[in-house]
Structures are given as structure tokens and as C-alpha cells.
Structure 1
Amino acid sequence: MSKRLPWRRWLARSALAFILVPLALMLAFRFVPVPVTPLMLIRAVQGEGLQKDWVPLESIAPALAHAVIAAEDNRFCEQSLGFDFRALHGEIEDWWDGERPRGASTITMQTAKNLFLWPGRDPVRKVIEAWLTPQIALLWPKQRVMEVYLNIVEFGPGIYGAEAASRAFFNKPANALTRREAARLAAVLPSPLNWSAARPSGYVLRRASIIERRMGQLGPLLDCAR
């Protein structure tokens, strides 16, 4: 019995740390800028460098928030727990029918992943992401979720956040982005290491055009990002 107690104590402490450490960081990052993320460190070790410049949401053109909602998560402003349950239901139906899932990742889910986790699609990471997402959704207002997301998301090799991306690709601050430039930045998010907002392929330009058109159609679904 005495030999088992240290293991039980270690497991209990590990479980407590698993719960409390991310929670403490979420509470801190509700108010202070995020200094670095696991993905930034991983990419830096891989030799991609690290360009980032934290700016408040008010210093980012609203068009970029609208563009990422149009591209990544149309119902972002309506979600209460950070999940798009309609999209998740569609994912389950696709899986049941033997089809390839289309993806149901929300901006809040991507923020949780970018803030705390590593890249990849392994089940362990997805489970932890699902655990962290509702905590962020409950602790942060929508504007803070968007602010953190736009400051830490990867827009290109070694380029993180709206300000660094805007200066690297368009030679201007993020508050001067046009709708078209914002749409091009949002268009590369699914594959920022392979697609470029500065030298967009025909596919990226077509995707950006669709995003820009959708931005004008979402109406009240953009209310929380205005």
C-alpha cells in the first residue's frame, strides 16, 4: 500500500496541474498579451524564425476579423461554448456515411489549439482542445478571443499575427488593411506554410474572392467583430 501512495499522489498532482495551469494562463491571457506559443517555438526550432508584434484589436482593420469569420467560422458570434454544433453534427453524419469529414473547427477551438497545443490531428490533441475550448469561451468575451486569435495565428513561415503579416506581405500596419488584403490573409490560413498572401496562387485568389463576397453577405453574423 505504501508503495502505491506516491504514484497516486503523483497522478493526483498531475491531474490537478493539468486542470489548474491552463486555467491560470487563460485568466492571465484574458488581460495580458500572449508572449509566445508552442507552435511558435516549434517552428523556430525548425528554422523558420519568429516575427510577431502584438497589437490591440482596435489597431487591426475590422475587415480582417470579418474575413476570418467568413473563411473559418461563420457562426462565431452566435456560439456560447466555442463549438459549432451544427457543423459537428454534419461531421458525424459524413463519418457515418463513410465520407471524408469537412472540418468543424471554430475560431475559439483554433485559439485554444494555437495557445496551448502542438500542430497535428492526433486524437489526444483533439481531446485536449475540446476540453480547453469551452473554458476560453466562458472566460473571455468574443472580442478577446478574436484579439488573441489574430495576434497568434500563423500567416506564413515564421510570421504570426495580423501586424507582422500585414507588414511582411503588404508593407503596411494591420489597421490599414483593405477588404481584399484581409481576404487574402484569411484565404491562406488553412495552409500558411504552402500558400502565400503576398504571392497568391490562382486558387488562393479565387478563395479570397469568395471570402470577400461572403463578408458582404454575413450581416448580423459579424456583429461581435464590428
Structure 2
Amino acid sequence: MTAPIRVLVCDDQVLIRTGLVTIIDAQPDLEVVGECGDGQAAVDLAGQVHPDVVVMDVRMPVLDGIEATRLLAGAGVPRPVKVLVVTTFNLDEYVYEALRAGASGFLLKDAPPAQLLHGIRTVGTGAALLDPEVTRRLVGRYAARIRPAEGAPNDIPLTPRELEVLRLIADGLSNSEIAAALVISPETVKTFVSRILTKLNLRDRVQAVVYAYRQGLVT
């Protein structure tokens, strides 16, 4: 049998944290290996229990979820840990920064349990979790804060078709939506996405969205 996905839960609100732990631990394919109430504790504990996924709140004492995510999953981390950010979208101005810091995805705190569990499994298997509609709202709201990189977009090593797919990813479209928009098969879209990530040395779709906005490919 496949080993369960090891999960570390980090949230400073005890009731929410307890609820998350209870929901996750009830699943046969998931295992809570630790819980804590601040970002620094998450970083320290992750080094001890080696989780596959950290369910991370953003606003916490001592060290917030953004900095904790950067230390756990950011560029240059020797053994990055996958981070799933769980946040209150309408109140949290920093969730986008958490994605830039290296998070593999995000969910809203009022998401149903089934969606939370699906998110953990998705991130745990190495995929990114981006809800298309929420992504459109999120990136659209914070895109103005991203400073475009110099030399863009002429220096981007992608074909015209790959650039087109990247723009659609940044718009928050799923693979099936991209396939419909470009009148190609979902399998072909997957191939394009894989090539884009490889060429740009990006980990997942989250980083692809950030890259597209930094390069000024979408506004």
C-alpha cells in the first residue's frame, strides 16, 4: 500500500487547527504528523517530522505564513516542502505574496472539508492547486503590485503557442478550459504546460502565473 501523505497543520486559532487536524486524520491516506500555532514553529517542526504537505495559515504571530512558506518552499531551499495556504481571501492582503514565496496552492477557510482533503492530496502528489475563478480574482487584484522584469517579454524562451498557453494559465484557466479555447486536446495542453515549466525552470502552475505577471504578459 502507498504510504499516507504526511501533513503538518499550522494555524494560530486553536479551534480551527483542531478542526483541520480532526478532518485530516480521519482519512486513511492522510496522516497528521504535527500541529503548531505560528510560522516559526512550523519551520522548526517541519525539520523534525518531515511532512509532505504543510497546511499553512497566513496571519500568525512570531513568524507569519508568508515568511514561513519562503523558508520551507522558497527558491534555494535544499529540501523544499509543499505548502498549501489556507486563508480568508477577502481579508488577507498577503495571500498572493505567499504564492510568490513558494506555496503550491491555496484554499479559502470556508471551503468544505472535501475540498480541503482534495487540496492536500493534489499538492501532496506534486501538482499545484489553483481554483480558476479564485485565481482570476486573486491575481487580478494583486497583479499591480508585481514589478515587471527588465527585458520582458522579448527574452522569454517560449514559442508563440507556448506563450499563448502561458497567458491562459495566468488568466486562471484550467487545462480543459485552455483546450476548449485553443481547440486542442487536454493531453496537448498538458504537454505544452510541461514544456513551459521545463523551459522556464518553474515548479508548478502557481509559479507560472507569477512569472507571467512579472514578465508583463498579462495585465
TM range (shorter): under 0.3
Q: Say which one has the larger Rg.
A: 1
Given the two structures, how large is their TM-score scaled by the length of structure 1?
Answer: 0.26
Tell me which protein shows more strand as a share of its residues: 2
Name the structure, 1 or 2, with higher relative contact order (CA <8 Å, separation 6+).
Answer: 1
